[in-house]
């Protein structure tokens, strides 16, 4: 499947396009407010341009130079001063939470008052705290939230024929061809072989990417495999007990038959190892070569009904679950 321009599509960022009302015109039925018409002589102070009755002798009532309300400072100047103040003093905690998508500032204040917010593992219950979004760790109900606006977390449904790299010297389609709308440099979390479909995570959070693929954290991956039967009743046990491969014994965490039509079987294999072609090799070693393989889940993140070739941003809840999975 060739990559397409998916900017603004339903699979990306789930943001709703803003609708602009272009109906204009004047008169009845127009949605555009019209200025209230005022007679020229009224605007000028009466007929013939004379001052209106009650005006103080017709004198110009505008404040003279040096009196009255001073002009406001330019917006850019005010924004610059605010940014400098935030760099020195930090940003209010509820603003950082709201910017991370937790909710309105008032909702975030309620979470703080309820004792549901931790800052660097210390529970906060009072308003007014300022933090540095680039270094602080904030948790809501024990789940970490992203505080750096530049952090990106993407779920991609890789089609067959796509190489799990950002560049291919042979000119084949790569992951980079499908994420052109994201400006940040992204890391792919693990790999899928070229003919395997399904879920790949991408992020620019290097530590998270490293931990999700490190054997220490035993992050489980779920696969659906199409194989030919009949299937012996002990196939699941044999997979979980361990299959001897050329690079060592590989074990599945779980196995089940999802569906079957005649001798065509759809089975689910869950394992936390990440060796190359491991699911295909395990099943082939036991006499069941895989005809089609799809990864449907990586840790707590599910593929769901996401279409091949589409990307989507992870929700704050999903990001928090990933951090919790690897003790971040």
Measured at the alpha carbon of residue 297, what is the angle toward residues 296 and 299, in degrees to the nearest 5? Answer: 170
Helix, strand or coil, per DSSP, at residue 295: strand
CB 102 within 8 A of CB 145: yes
Q: How many CA atoms lie within 13 A of 327 on its CB side?
A: 5
Q: How many CA atoms lie within 13 A of 86 on its CB side?
A: 14
The C-alpha R_g of the chain, in whole angstroms, comes to 31
- In this structure, the dihedral spanned by the alpha carbons of residues 249, 254, 258 and 260, taken in order and rounded to 10 degrees, is 40
DSSP assignment string, 157-218: EEPTT-BSSS--TT---BGGGG-TT--S--EEES---TT-EEEEEEES-HHHHHHHH-GGG-
User: Which residue is catalytic, options 99, 177, 193, 253?
Assistant: 193
Of the candidates 97, 89, 92, which has an alpha carbon nearest to the alpha carbon of residue 116?
97
What contacts 209, CB < 8 A, 6 or more positions away? 187, 189, 203
Based on the residue annotation, tell me whether 193 is a catalytic residue of this protein.
yes
CB 131 within 8 A of CB 119: yes
Owner of token pair 């004379």: 50
Instruction: Name beta bridge partners: 155.
Output: 201, 312
Measured at the alpha carbon of residue 5, what is the angle toward residues 298 and 146, in degrees to the nearest 5? Answer: 40
What interhelical angle do 206-213 and 316-325 show, nearest 10? Answer: 60
Catalytic residue ranges = 193
């Amino acid at each position: 499947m060739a990559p397409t321009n998916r900017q603004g599509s339903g699979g990306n960022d789930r943001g709703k396009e803003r609708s602009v009302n272009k109906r204009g015109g004047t008169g009845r039925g127009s949605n555009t407010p019209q200025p209230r018409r005022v007679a020229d002589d009224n605007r000028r102070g009466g007929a013939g341009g004379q001052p209106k009755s009650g005006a103080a002798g017709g004198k110009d009532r505008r404040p003279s130079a040096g009196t009255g309300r001073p002009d406001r400072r330019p917006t850019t100047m005010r924004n610059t001063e605010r940014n400098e103040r935030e760099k020195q003093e930090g940003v209010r905690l509820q603003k950082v939470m709201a910017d991370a998508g937790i909710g309105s500032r008032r909702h975030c204040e309620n979470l703080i008052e309820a004792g549901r917010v931790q800052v660097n593992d210390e529970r906060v219950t009072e308003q007014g705290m300022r933090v540095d979004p680039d270094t602080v760790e904030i948790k809501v109900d024990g789940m970490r939230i992203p505080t750096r606006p530049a952090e990106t977390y993407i779920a991609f449904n890789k089609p067959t024929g796509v190489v799990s790299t950002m560049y291919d010297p042979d000119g084949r389609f790569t992951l980079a061809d499908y994420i052109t709308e994201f400006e940040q440099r992204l890391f792919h979390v693990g790999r899928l072989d070229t003919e395997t479909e399904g879920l790949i995570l991408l992020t620019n959070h290097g530590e998270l990417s490293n931990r999700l693929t490190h054997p220490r954290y035993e992050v489980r991956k779920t696969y659906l495999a199409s194989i030919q039967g009949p299937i012996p009743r002990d196939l699941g046990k044999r997979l979980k007990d361990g299959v001897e491969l050329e690079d060592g014994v590989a074990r599945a965490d779980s196995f089940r038959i999802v569906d079957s039509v005649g001798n065509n079987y759809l089975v689910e294999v869950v394992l936390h190892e990440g060796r190359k072609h491991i699911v295909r090799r395990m099943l082939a070693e036991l006499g069941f070569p895989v005809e089609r393989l799809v990864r449907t889940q990586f840790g707590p993140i599910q593929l769901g009904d996401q279409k091949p070739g589409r990307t989507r941003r992870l929700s704050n809840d999903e990001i928090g679950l990933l951090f919790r999975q690897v003790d971040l």
